[in-house]
Chains A and B, each alone.
Chain A
């Protein structure tokens, strides 16, 4: 229970479904702030008090479990090192993968619980053989199946998402108000919880350091300089301050961040288009596909991106089995480190971390 409205209503519904429920708030920071600021949805003393109050209104015991050290190692430090390596990680996804449905679930099972129940918007249904399938939520606008794409079948067996079939968040808020939960009108959270003021670049600059470096075009020619490569993401146009104009005079965009040489590669907007993505770090939300089998799917590469029809194939590569996904229309602004979640209709098939991309436009175009 984060202290937000979703987990509070999820807990109440779990109680009504007949489960024996204990509210658990995760302490993810050793030095939590006192009051909620901006749009962070957890992690302050005020949030833990909101969660506790919700638990007492629902009538369930409530505890705070400390995962701050795990969170620092597996989520915060990982976020910093991924950025340092020129990749763009999703910390909420990492938290689901390493904390909520791993460390928390493992501890809960050992202590005698059967499942972790959260306020995520996604649906778990059983197939004909009783195996769990992860699907998108009914509330399409709130759907969180993307950030849950890291869950495996075994984790799904021990997971409940009571909000998955609610058509809208407004209904959840109305239900919270009806239940007398004071968090009914609490603002949504959308910032990264461990970056208090929402200034991700400033926060990263404090931790990664900012080394000036070169901006080059796709031929390798130096066209400008930057104050620190981590401040840029693939697809970015603003703040490049290029000294040498493009031959055609059109705006240029960040195509690649190269941490080893501390370089940014820039080029025309058309060069952002990606025709193929691939990666070997993967998980399956259900049955695994076999190598060599080509199948139609949809691929989503960001939490709030639209899914794109694609064909996928698993190939044996030098570093093991590799996902290769070719979208029907090129994808824009794909950065290594992002997670590609593969869907079959509304069902999550699995996910992989994008390790390499193939541009839709040849270098000399």
Chain B
């Protein structure tokens, strides 16, 4: 028996996506070739791009296909920084502390190598990005902010931040906003409509969104940067000049077709899946609370939160144990879960997201992320709940190691906005 409750890491390939890729792999043709085979490939590629654009609510020209979320985020953050600073000095970048490492490490690189001055925004207690703290950060050095980047749905705790309010702020201040929507697979982006209602235009406000195929049932290795037509960041990859000269490299028709098929299936089922996953998530949380007294639910699930929560993620702190012991014991029992993030060597790391939410060290220690997806069932949840009591008891017996959880503090020279920790 093997139960998979880690869909936020990657979710099984949807049959539609597999069929689309298999069909495409039977065919030959470089979409950039001039002959018939090239034109046919081009047709299939652009058809996939149009279908993706329809799901994302943007124009096809605004879909820049990439190798995935990490590349999209790097292309946006580095590209906008380079482009903006080539005109005049705008070293400030505004980033919430709970972003994915694809963002935080890119920001770190920009700070170390390109003269960026990051202003870090602490999260609210429920994991949301506090809009007023972003406003303060933007107001501190008007005219010197290169961009703002915000994760829409936090990939660890599942909290959904108010990107419309932040887009509006950015539009007013004339600053471009990039949104990391990699973990927001179940939400409708409505890119053009969202830009309209937030007053985003002329390169300010919402201009770029990173998405990834394998989080919605597509293959690993493909994603997109949704990029409005009024911006032109510097390119990360140079070469044949494909995709608005922003992302050179032979375009992968099979990946695009599979991504489009997965995205369409996810969008088609979004409404019914939302209710189904929320019910599974709540069943899981209620069960965990019943079986392990003192378990704490992190994020915005339940009553009393300003922010909304992802239907697919339950992030729980278990008292008196190390998460890696719990993860190990559940794995031995055939239940696969996550601690949210691991270092390169494979050690579960204390969650920088929980730390950014102001949680104590002990709460970060026993934290597990359980994430549901399109193949999740009640049986999965029940298998987890069946394995939990013994795993927790044993993990408690194994005890807390003497490890001092230092967390990943900001690099020297980073500015932290301490005032925003509680949000409003």
- A63-B346, A70-B401, A70-B403 given; A111·B394 CB < 8 A: yes
The contact sample of 15 A-B pairs, CB cut-off 8 A, is A27-B345, A30-B406, A32-B344, A48-B345, A63-B346, A65-B324, A68-B347, A69-B401, A69-B402, A69-B403, A69-B404, A73-B402, A103-B402, A111-B395, A111-B398
Q: Does A112 contact B (CB under 8 A)?
A: yes
CB–CB A66/B344 < 8 A: no
Q: Does A207 contact B (CB under 8 A)?
A: no
Interface centre among B325, B328, B329, B395 (most CB of A within 10 A): B328
Which residues of the partner chain A approach B329 to less than 8 Å between Cβ atoms? 111-112
Q: Does A275 contact B (CB under 8 A)?
A: no
Q: Does B397 contact A (CB under 8 A)?
A: yes
Which residues of the partner chain B approach A103 to less than 8 Å between Cβ atoms? 401-402
Q: Does B399 contact A (CB under 8 A)?
A: yes
Which residues of the partner chain A approach B406 to less than 8 Å between Cβ atoms? 30
Chain B 319-354 residues near chain A, CB threshold 8 A: 324-325, 328-329, 331-332, 343-348
Question: For residue B397, which residue of chain A has the nearest CB?
Answer: A110
Contact with B along A24-58 (1 / 0, CB 8 A): 01010010101000000000010010001000000
Chain B 3-44 residues near chain A, CB threshold 8 A: none
CB–CB B404/A66 < 8 A: no
Chain B 394-422 residues near chain A, CB threshold 8 A: 394-395, 397-399, 401-404, 406
- A25-B346, A32-B345 given; A66·B401 CB < 8 A: yes
Which residues of the partner chain A approach B399 to less than 8 Å between Cβ atoms? 107, 110
Which residues of the partner chain B approach A64 to less than 8 Å between Cβ atoms? 345-347
Distance, CA A25 to CA B345, complexed state (A): 9
Q: Does A67 contact B (CB under 8 A)?
A: yes
Q: Please give 15 more A-B residue pairs, beta carbons under 8 A apart, in addition to A25-B345, A103-B401, A111-B328.
A: A27-B347, A45-B344, A61-B332, A64-B347, A65-B324, A66-B324, A66-B347, A68-B403, A107-B398, A107-B401, A110-B394, A111-B325, A111-B329, A111-B394, A112-B329
Which residues of the partner chain B approach A34 to less than 8 Å between Cβ atoms? 344
- Whole-angstrom distance between the Cβ of A53 and the nearest chain B Cβ: 12
Chain B contact residues (Cβ within 8 angstroms of A): what range? 20 to 34
- Whole-angstrom distance between the Cβ of B4 and the nearest chain A Cβ: 16
CB–CB B325/A70 < 8 A: no
Interface centre among B395, B403, B404 (most CB of A within 10 A): B403
Which residues of the partner chain A approach B343 to less than 8 Å between Cβ atoms? 27
- Whole-angstrom distance between the Cβ of B393 and the nearest chain A Cβ: 10
Question: For residue A69, which residue of chain B has the nearest CB?
Answer: B403
Which residues of the partner chain A approach B331 to less than 8 Å between Cβ atoms? 61
Distance, CA A163 to CA B149, complexed state (A): 54
Which residues of the partner chain A approach B404 to less than 8 Å between Cβ atoms? 69
Distance, CA A112 to CA B344, complexed state (A): 27
Which residues of the partner chain A approach B348 to less than 8 Å between Cβ atoms? 66
Question: For residue A32, which residue of chain B has the nearest CB?
Answer: B345
- Whole-angstrom distance between the Cβ of A114 and the nearest chain B Cβ: 14
Distance, CA A66 to CA B346, complexed state (A): 9
- Whole-angstrom distance between the Cβ of B352 and the nearest chain A Cβ: 14
Which residues of the partner chain B approach A65 to less than 8 Å between Cβ atoms? 324, 347
Contact with A along B83-102 (1 / 0, CB 8 A): 00000000000000000000
Question: For residue A24, which residue of chain B has the nearest CB?
Answer: B328
CB–CB A112/B346 < 8 A: no
- Whole-angstrom distance between the Cβ of B1 and the nearest chain A Cβ: 15
- Whole-angstrom distance between the Cβ of B389 and the nearest chain A Cβ: 14
Which residues of the partner chain B approach A110 to less than 8 Å between Cβ atoms? 394, 397-399
B394 contacts which of A22, A66, A112 (Cβ < 8 Å)?
Answer: A112
Which residues of the partner chain B approach A112 to less than 8 Å between Cβ atoms? 329, 394
Which residues of the partner chain B approach A32 to less than 8 Å between Cβ atoms? 344-345
CB–CB B346/A48 < 8 A: yes
Question: For residue A103, which residue of chain B has the nearest CB?
Answer: B401
Contact with B along A95-124 (1 / 0, CB 8 A): 000000001000100111000000000000
CB–CB A67/B328 < 8 A: no
Interface centre among B325, B331, B402 (most CB of A within 10 A): B402
Which residues of the partner chain A approach B344 to less than 8 Å between Cβ atoms? 32, 34, 45
Which residues of the partner chain B approach A73 to less than 8 Å between Cβ atoms? 402
Contact with B along A285-325 (1 / 0, CB 8 A): 00000000000000000000000000000000000000000
Question: For residue B405, which residue of chain A has the nearest CB?
Answer: A69
- Whole-angstrom distance between the Cβ of B121 and the nearest chain A Cβ: 26
Distance, CA A67 to CA B345, complexed state (A): 13
- Whole-angstrom distance between the Cβ of A35 and the nearest chain B Cβ: 12
- Whole-angstrom distance between the Cβ of B11 and the nearest chain A Cβ: 22
Distance, CA A70 to CA B328, complexed state (A): 20
Distance, CA A31 to CA B347, complexed state (A): 12
Distance, CA A61 to CA B324, complexed state (A): 14
Which residues of the partner chain A approach B325 to less than 8 Å between Cβ atoms? 107, 111
Distance, CA A254 to CA B328, complexed state (A): 51
- Whole-angstrom distance between the Cβ of B54 and the nearest chain A Cβ: 42
B403 contacts which of A61, A66, A111 (Cβ < 8 Å)?
Answer: A66
